[in-house]
Structure 1
Amino acid sequence: MNRMTLKSANDLFNQGKFENAREIYSRIRSQGTKNYEIVKQLGKIALFSNHFKEAENFLKEAIILEPKKEEPKILLTEVFYRQDKFQEVVSLLQQIGKEEEVKRFKSFKGILPNQIKGDVEFTKIDFIKTDPLPIIKLKVNEDKVVNFFIDTGAAETILDKKFAEDLGVEIFFSRKGTFAGGKKASVQFGKINSITLGEFTIKNLPVVILPVRHFSELVFGGTEVDGIIGTTLFYHFITTMDYVEGELILRRKNKTNLSKIDQEIKEKKMFEIPFWMAGDHYIVAWGRVNKSKPLLFFVDTGLAGGGFTCPESTIKEAGIDLLTDQASVGVGGGGKVQTIPFIVDKLSLGAVVEYNIRGVFTGGTSLNEVLGFQIGGIISHMFFRKYALTFDFIKMRLILQKKTSASNISIK
């Protein structure tokens, strides 16, 4: 095996060029090489693409080659988790000694997690507010009508801590989480019976518990919010956030709905942008800032009132001027964060281009350290404000339909 070739594949992976890396890893493997690093990386890339059987096979092979290594076991838990195969997750967590997490997943034995009920193919839920982030009304446990905001920067559905206490949600374990600006906060993990969005009820949900109600005043001008809808719920549907019409559309993941969307793409000349998903919710796709080289962006819709944030390396790469005289204190999941605004002259995601997008710089821990590959920034709310944004986790693509000029945007 050529060590330089393996190094070049690893370098491509670290740059976020997953398909290029996969080609080299596969070529080396086809030469009969049995190498832990190669099959583990092939498993990881397959997971990022939601190619579950392929990911499972590679990661199981990696475990056979290096039984004491934790990483392929952790990746394999994610493969099973995304498919709601929680009892397979239990076995792997036990192998790596994560007993506190085992208890929560064991509690789903004999029931189907994230079970979708409803006699419809799709449902629409109006936004109560669209700015600074979309808020929808939903039911928790079939009787509590509450407001949640939408944020793909979250993974599992999040309940406010006090709201969860009032519901009597069982807490299985807690740990520290990292939020905007690198802030840390305690995160609790539980489950609820159901949530109802429009005409769909999703039963047996794993949930995260955090203080959320403080966003009501600080972010939403007094509109009370009791939770957050994140990416985990989104990927159980073909999900559209229509910022212009002010509605969330959930479609069942099936061939009929997929065919209808493919037809709409042709008729309405929508944009298709491939994406990958790392970890439990990191949707990443290629874009550019100003005249930068291509950069991989995390599609996190939860930057209230903003369209972009990035590390210092991108500030320099894109020649962005920070408006330091306008620095202020914002709020994230971990508490207060200092924010410095800036304006991006030109921001693109795939072939979609927008101009004069407001951004904020918060510093803190780079996502590179969390994900193991380079992230150029987070693209968010105001970039998508003129569009209907669809997440298709079957074909792993974002679909954007531009619906109006800026002057015609409806405000809710």
Structure 2
Amino acid sequence: MANDGEWDRRSLLRGAAVVAGAAATAPLLGNAMAQADTGDADALFKAGKFEQAGRAYEEILKRDPTNVHAARQRGHVALLVNQFPDAEKYLTMALKLAPSDKDTNQLLGDCYIRQDKFSLSIPCWQAAGGDVRAKWFGALRGRPYQIHGDIARLPWQQMDPTPLVEASINGGPPKRFMFYTGAPWLGMNAEVAREAGLTAVAKQQIDYLDGTAWQYFGVLDSFKLGGIELRNIPVEWTETDQPNPGGANDGIIGTWIWYHLLTTFDYAGRSLILRRRTPETARKARAEAARAGAKPLPLWLGHEHEVYSKGSIAGSGPGMVGLSIGGVGEIAAAMSEETAKRLRIRIDYDRPLETFAHSHPVVVYPCYPKEIRLGDAVAKGVYCNANPDSRPSRSGFDTLGAFFHPFYKPYNVTLDFTDMKLYIARGKAT
């Protein structure tokens, strides 16, 4: 991460796709669940019991309306499920109590950009030290993320090492893009940006692999994915002399694109299905999932782009898991070494893997849980990784780990950011 809090290009790293989930997850602490039953609001939040945590924070605020932490956390709970009125209400309350609080400003800035209120987010990023982001969003004019078209079905150009789809930039010839929910925005390489005539409105230098890279930020007129076109959207491009571990592609599509649409990652059908987000398309998605026997799972959106649901690893019982859909890698899941040990998962310490996470070298170890599960979707005895150098989740709650690209191959996965539900069903999407 760069000094002002902007994301680096670790989302494109092969190593990051292998271990980012474990690097971004904290050990699932046993005492968090025990403390959750005491009604402690922070313990409830940490354990992923967000509804209970929200009510507990409200009780604190009834007793002490000046409690900045409780107001901020109550807003954070609402933001995780895109309940924007409540998120704005409580985060604004916290900001009035502590105008310079960086955490509150970042959360409120995220709340605004999820609603395409980029101009309102600018003071938040400035207060949080995100000057690059403030300049970037200040360059947007008119309504961002204008959606034209109703549906697109894009065949994948390849499955491994990363799925690729074709897209057109500013009406130009098709380019090959990888996609990854572990990445935030739409990004591309410098050559593609030059061909599209993009102009940088902000830039920063970041650490990247064994060297450095320059990130540039601008506004793209048109990004077309089959029958869906998005206009006036923020875009990033990178210039570096380091090799691209993601292989031969022209860029990456992140979660900011996906949450503007009803998105189905049809692994079994090797296609990407995009629909305009409306109550009607959400209803159809629910009906299609029901016909396929897929029960709705909860969906949370944390720290601007990180997708979470409830899953389990090695019989752990339901817990928070990250969903790293797309990207690059051979592992089905990543977890902390502590979690693997606690769940008595076999770790192969004789075969360390030297890779990168968060743009820094890290050593992880193969591990083999008997089962990993997301709803009725199951993988048994599958190759995973345990990371001894795990970091706490940026969103502040415990996770079991993250599920990666190979896990989803027999299934189709739909992310509904209207009702905040996840649907995963075996076989091709209808």
TM-score normalised over the length of structure 1: 0.85
- Alpha-carbon deviation of 1:129? 0.9
Q: Is the contact made by 2:100 and 2:128 (CA closer than 8 Å) also made in structure 1?
A: no
- Alpha-carbon deviation of 1:193? 2.0
Whether 1:359 aligns to 2:384 is yes
Structure 1 residue aligned with 2:5: none
Q: Is the contact made by 1:213 and 1:225 (CA closer than 8 Å) also made in structure 2?
A: no
Whether 1:113 aligns to 2:138 is no
Given the superposition, is the C-alpha separation of residues 156 and 166 from structure 1 closer, same or farther in structure 2, using an over 3 Å criterion? same
Question: Secondary structure of 1:260's match?
Answer: helix
Higher relative contact order (CA 8 A, sep 6+): 2
Moved more, 268-277 or 355-364: 355-364
Structure 2 residue aligned with 1:142: 171
Q: In 2, Cα distance between the equivalents of 1:184 and 1:268?
A: 47
The aligned runs of 1:374-385 (5 Å cut-off) are: 374-385=398-409
Structure 2 residue aligned with 1:127: 156
Given the superposition, is the C-alpha separation of residues 318 and 6 from structure 1 closer, same or farther in structure 2, using an over 3 Å criterion? closer
Given the superposition, is the C-alpha separation of residues 94 and 290 from structure 1 closer, same or farther in structure 2, using an over 3 Å criterion? closer
Q: In 2, Cα distance between the equivalents of 1:274 and 1:359?
A: 24
Whether 1:343 aligns to 2:373 is no
Q: Is the contact made by 2:140 and 2:234 (CA closer than 8 Å) also made in structure 1?
A: no
Q: Is the contact made by 1:272 and 1:398 (CA closer than 8 Å) also made in structure 2?
A: yes
Whether 1:270 aligns to 2:301 is no
Moved more, 296-305 or 87-96: 87-96
Q: In 1, Cα distance between the equivalents of 2:108 and 2:269?
A: 39
**What is the alpha-carbon root mean square deviation over aligned residues?**
2.9
Given the superposition, is the C-alpha separation of residues 130 and 278 from structure 1 closer, same or farther in structure 2, using an over 3 Å criterion? same
Q: In 2, Cα distance between the equivalents of 1:403 and 1:71?
A: 41
Q: Is the contact made by 2:167 and 2:224 (CA closer than 8 Å) also made in structure 1?
A: yes
Q: In 2, Cα distance between the equivalents of 1:87 and 1:103?
A: 10
- Alpha-carbon deviation of 1:113? 1.5
Unmatched segments (≥5 aa) in structure 1: 405-412
Which of residues 185, 196, 205 is equivalent to 2:233?
A: 205
Whether 1:59 aligns to 2:91 is yes
The aligned runs of 1:225-240 (5 Å cut-off) are: 225-240=249-264
- Alpha-carbon deviation of 1:215? 7.1
Question: Secondary structure of 1:84's match?
Answer: coil
Q: Is the contact made by 2:172 and 2:196 (CA closer than 8 Å) also made in structure 1?
A: no
The aligned runs of 1:246-261 (5 Å cut-off) are: 246-261=270-285
Given the superposition, is the C-alpha separation of residues 73 and 291 from structure 1 closer, same or farther in structure 2, using an over 3 Å criterion? same
Q: Is the contact made by 1:133 and 1:305 (CA closer than 8 Å) also made in structure 2?
A: no
- Alpha-carbon deviation of 1:194? 1.8
Q: What amino acid does structure 2 have at the position aligned with 1:274? A: P
Structure 1 residue aligned with 2:60: 28
Whether 1:79 aligns to 2:111 is yes
- Residues 29-64 of structure 1: per-residue CA shift (max 9 Å, x gap): 345744222211110110111001111011111122
- Alpha-carbon deviation of 1:330? 4.6
Q: What amino acid does structure 1 have at the position aligned with 2:332? A: G
Which of residues 415, 421, 425 is equivalent to 1:391?
A: 415
- Residues 135-169 of structure 1: per-residue CA shift (max 9 Å, x gap): 11111121042111111111101212443345443
Given the superposition, is the C-alpha separation of residues 98 and 324 from structure 1 closer, same or farther in structure 2, using an over 3 Å criterion? closer
Q: What amino acid does structure 2 have at the position aligned with 1:345? A: K
Q: Is the contact made by 1:285 and 1:350 (CA closer than 8 Å) also made in structure 2?
A: no
Which of residues 339, 343, 348 is equivalent to 1:318?
A: 343
Question: Secondary structure of 1:75's match?
Answer: helix
Unmatched segments (≥5 aa) in structure 2: 1-35
Q: In 1, Cα distance between the equivalents of 2:207 and 2:304?
A: 13
Structure 1 residue aligned with 2:7: none
Q: What amino acid does structure 1 have at the position aligned with 2:101? A: K
Q: In 2, Cα distance between the equivalents of 1:210 and 1:393?
A: 29
Q: In 1, Cα distance between the equivalents of 2:99 and 2:263?
A: 38
Q: What amino acid does structure 1 have at the position aligned with 2:288? A: E
Q: In 2, Cα distance between the equivalents of 1:214 and 1:332?
A: 16
Moved more, 275-284 or 154-163: 154-163
Which of residues 288, 303, 318 is equivalent to 2:312?
A: 288
Q: Is the contact made by 2:282 and 2:419 (CA closer than 8 Å) also made in structure 1?
A: no
Given the superposition, is the C-alpha separation of residues 177 and 195 from structure 1 closer, same or farther in structure 2, using an over 3 Å criterion? farther
Given the superposition, is the C-alpha separation of residues 303 and 242 from structure 1 closer, same or farther in structure 2, using an over 3 Å criterion? same
- Alpha-carbon deviation of 1:107? 0.9
Q: What amino acid does structure 1 have at the position aligned with 2:148? A: K
- Alpha-carbon deviation of 1:333? 7.2
Q: In 2, Cα distance between the equivalents of 1:185 and 1:26?
A: 45
- Alpha-carbon deviation of 1:22? 1.0
TM-score normalised over the length of structure 2: 0.82
Q: Is the contact made by 1:298 and 1:375 (CA closer than 8 Å) also made in structure 2?
A: yes
Which of residues 48, 54, 70 is equivalent to 2:80?
A: 48
Identity within the alignment, %:
27
Moved more, 143-152 or 201-210: 201-210
Q: Is the contact made by 2:375 and 2:424 (CA closer than 8 Å) also made in structure 1?
A: no
Q: What amino acid does structure 2 have at the position aligned with 1:282? A: E
Given the superposition, is the C-alpha separation of residues 17 and 30 from structure 1 closer, same or farther in structure 2, using an over 3 Å criterion? same
Q: What amino acid does structure 1 have at the position aligned with 2:237? A: I
Q: In 1, Cα distance between the equivalents of 2:37 and 2:331?
A: 41
Structure 2 residue aligned with 1:173: 203
Q: In 2, Cα distance between the equivalents of 1:18 and 1:77?
A: 21
Question: Secondary structure of 1:271's match?
Answer: coil
- How many residue pairs get aligned? The number is 391
- Residues 109-153 of structure 1: per-residue CA shift (max 9 Å, x gap): 3x22221122xx211000011223211111112104211111111
Q: Is the contact made by 2:203 and 2:214 (CA closer than 8 Å) also made in structure 1?
A: no
Q: In 1, Cα distance between the equivalents of 2:318 and 2:346?
A: 20
- Alpha-carbon deviation of 1:199? 0.9
Question: Secondary structure of 1:326's match?
Answer: coil
- Residues 360-386 of structure 1: per-residue CA shift (max 9 Å, x gap): 235445143x33222221111122111
Structure 2 residue aligned with 1:298: 322
Structure 1 residue aligned with 2:9: none
Q: Is the contact made by 2:365 and 2:386 (CA closer than 8 Å) also made in structure 1?
A: yes
- Alpha-carbon deviation of 1:236? 0.5
